[in-house]
Amino acid sequence: MRTDALPQELIRAKRDGRALSPEAIGELVAGITDGSLSDAQVGALAMAIFLNGMDTAETVALTEAIRDSGRVLAWDDLDLPGPVLDKHSTGGVGDLVSLVLGPWIAACGGFVPMVSGRGLGHTGGTLDKLEAIPGYSVTPDSATFRRLVREVGVAIVGQSGELAPADKRLYAVRDVTATVESLPLIVASILGKKLACGLDALVMDVKTGSGAFMPSHQAAVELATSIADVATRAGTPTTALVTDMSQPLAPCAGNAIEVREAIRLLSGEKRHGRLLEVTRRLAAELLVAGGLANDRTAALARLDDTLSSGAVAERFAAMVAGLGGPADLLDRPDRHLPEAPVTLAVHAGRAGVVQAMDTRALGLAVVELGGGRRAPGEAIDPAVGLTRIASLGETVDAERPLALVQAASQDDAERAAGRVRDAITLGDADFAAPTLIHDRIQGEAS
């Protein structure tokens, strides 16, 4: 049922604090997509939502309208013998969960059409990491993407302009109108894109701590709750975990560096650590939501068995080869992944125990080294970054550096070393490792 209202009247209603009907929201999003709403109107609408918020019903309607503004992927015709599942993260430093989780779910019988993004601000992006692999194409044609999802169970690719085009325009306007930090706009933006991938279930990793998009725990819980509820009400059962980002998730950050770390986990060379634990817990949520395990205990056991069997590494290798990367990447990563010419150990001025980290500053140090972008479209250096980053509670001394900088030049390395020293606080007291998984929030359908 059309409202027959002028867009400015709908914007006025939101400006005055009234709730918009799903029809009104649908018309506004259609106008954003087809260009009939001017930039001024889109900006005014975004500001009205920013100032007055949206209730859950409105946020669900906005999410569904953004999801449906372009192509919505459908998998029914492939007769997949398992559920279509995915994970999304609010982003962080040393967060390479997607590289391990996608093939892990595939090896357990799920199907993962993962549409990922590039680095944003201080956070790394899955696409930039995968592009560190020579030949890997993040923009396969739709037939290749679907074939890989069917045959390998996982394909991690970039977003095509066909998915959720309303978000692209709305986000660009928000970016220049000081309206990014609005809960309903963030929720609808994230979910509009994710739910266009035709998922049976989703798990959301919302980070909290000094490297998170939402550093405060309270804000992270609010975002996690809203995402889980809105996605579930929009028809995709969703659970959210609030996880720690008060230090890098892996002990390293940088594009090729993180692919190497993924390979160490997939090949079984490394079987412990925060990254593995967060990935296991997120994957367990998906196995249960997708009916591939009866409960989380059974899911974790199945995940551990599958990883030990080598099946997860096989799926990763098949995905890489299927998207144009080298077939022997897992056997010979050093032959294919670039390495930075300069390595510099960053020593603290004193011995001590790591008490706190400005994780965002560590991410920005990687960006400054050339591992991220200062402006959209800039080329990045896949080889640079940080390795062997000390953990909270770890003792550093003349033997154990704070981290190793991997840089393109000595000057870059020394500048980054200063940033790392400034970002890490030492003390003498023991420091207990922070809680890794703070909360688990199950989306509610009503």
Catalytically active residues are 86-89, 126, 174, 189, 193-194
Instruction: Tell me the window of 150-158, 180-188, 219-227, 245-253 that interacts with ligand URA (CB under 6 A).
Output: 180-188
Closer CB to ligand URA, 183 or 288, in the complex: 183
Binders of ligand URA among residues 113 to 172 (CB under 6 A) are 171
Closer CB to ligand URA, 186 or 380, in the complex: 186
Quick check: 241 and 284 in contact, CB under 8 A?
no
Quick check: 95 and 123 in contact, CB under 8 A?
yes
Rounded (5°) CA angle 295-299-302: 145
In the complex, least distance from residue 385 CB atom to ligand URA, rounded to whole angstroms: 23
Q: What's phi and psi for 74, nearest 5 deg?
A: -130, 140
In the complex, least distance from residue 436 CB atom to ligand URA, rounded to whole angstroms: 23
Instruction: Tell me the window of 179-187, 223-231, 255-263, 280-288 that interacts with ligand URA (CB under 6 A).
Output: 179-187
In the complex, least distance from residue 64 CB atom to ligand URA, rounded to whole angstroms: 16
Question: Using the 8-state DSSP alphabet, how is residue 18 labeled?
Answer: P
Beta strands, E only, 74-217:
85-89, 112-116, 154-158, 201-208
Residue 343, phi-psi category: left (phi > 0), alpha (psi -120 to 50), beta (remainder):
beta
Closer CB to ligand URA, 186 or 423, in the complex: 186
Quick check: 170 and 42 in contact, CB under 8 A?
yes
* Number of other residues whose CB lies within 10 A of the CB of residue 267: 16
> Residues in the chain, how many?
446
Closer CB to ligand URA, 89 or 359, in the complex: 89
Quick check: 400 and 390 in contact, CB under 8 A?
yes
Closer CB to ligand URA, 48 or 307, in the complex: 48
CA–CA gap between residue 373 and residue 379 (Å, rounded): 7
In the complex, least distance from residue 44 CB atom to ligand URA, rounded to whole angstroms: 18
Which residues have a Cβ under 8 Å from the Cβ of 235 and sit 6 or more positions away? 195
- State the first-to-last Cα distance of the chain, in angstroms, to the nearest integer: 23
In the complex, least distance from residue 214 CB atom to ligand URA, rounded to whole angstroms: 10
Quick check: 393 and 354 in contact, CB under 8 A?
yes
Q: What's phi and psi for 354, nearest 5 deg?
A: -70, 120
In the complex, least distance from residue 413 CB atom to ligand URA, rounded to whole angstroms: 31
Q: What's phi and psi for 192, nearest 5 deg?
A: -55, -40
* Number of other residues whose CB lies within 10 A of the CB of residue 134: 15
- Long-range (24+ apart) CB contacts under 8 A made by 26-35 are 26/61, 26/65, 27/2, 27/3, 28/65, 29/62, 29/65, 29/66, 29/69, 29/166, 30/65, 30/69, 31/7, 32/69, 32/166, 32/169, 32/170, 33/69, 33/70, 33/165, 33/166, 33/169
- Tell me if 186 contacts ligand URA by CB under 6 A: yes
Closer CB to ligand URA, 182 or 306, in the complex: 182
In the complex, least distance from residue 207 CB atom to ligand URA, rounded to whole angstroms: 12
Answer for which of 116, 126, 189, 406 binds ligand URA (CB under 6 A) is: 189
Closer CB to ligand URA, 196 or 318, in the complex: 196
- Which residue number places its CB atom closest to ligand URA? 189
In the complex, least distance from residue 218 CB atom to ligand URA, rounded to whole angstroms: 18
Rounded (5°) CA angle 250-255-260: 60
Instruction: Tell me the window of 19-27, 131-139, 178-186, 244-252 that interacts with ligand URA (CB under 6 A).
Output: 178-186
Instruction: Tell me the window of 186-194, 223-231, 297-305, 432-440 that interacts with ligand URA (CB under 6 A).
Output: 186-194
Answer for which of 20, 112, 190, 241 binds ligand URA (CB under 6 A) is: 190
Instruction: At 136, list the tokens.
Output: 């890997």
Closer CB to ligand URA, 180 or 351, in the complex: 180
Closer CB to ligand URA, 180 or 408, in the complex: 180
In the complex, least distance from residue 19 CB atom to ligand URA, rounded to whole angstroms: 21
Instruction: Tell me the window of 13-21, 45-53, 184-192, 257-265 that interacts with ligand URA (CB under 6 A).
Output: 184-192
Instruction: Tell me the window of 44-52, 54-62, 185-193, 274-282 that interacts with ligand URA (CB under 6 A).
Output: 185-193
Instruction: At 330, list the tokens.
Output: 């897992």
Interface with ligand URA: number of residues (CB under 6 A): 6
Binding-site ranges for ligand URA (CB under 6 A): 171, 180, 185-186, 189-190
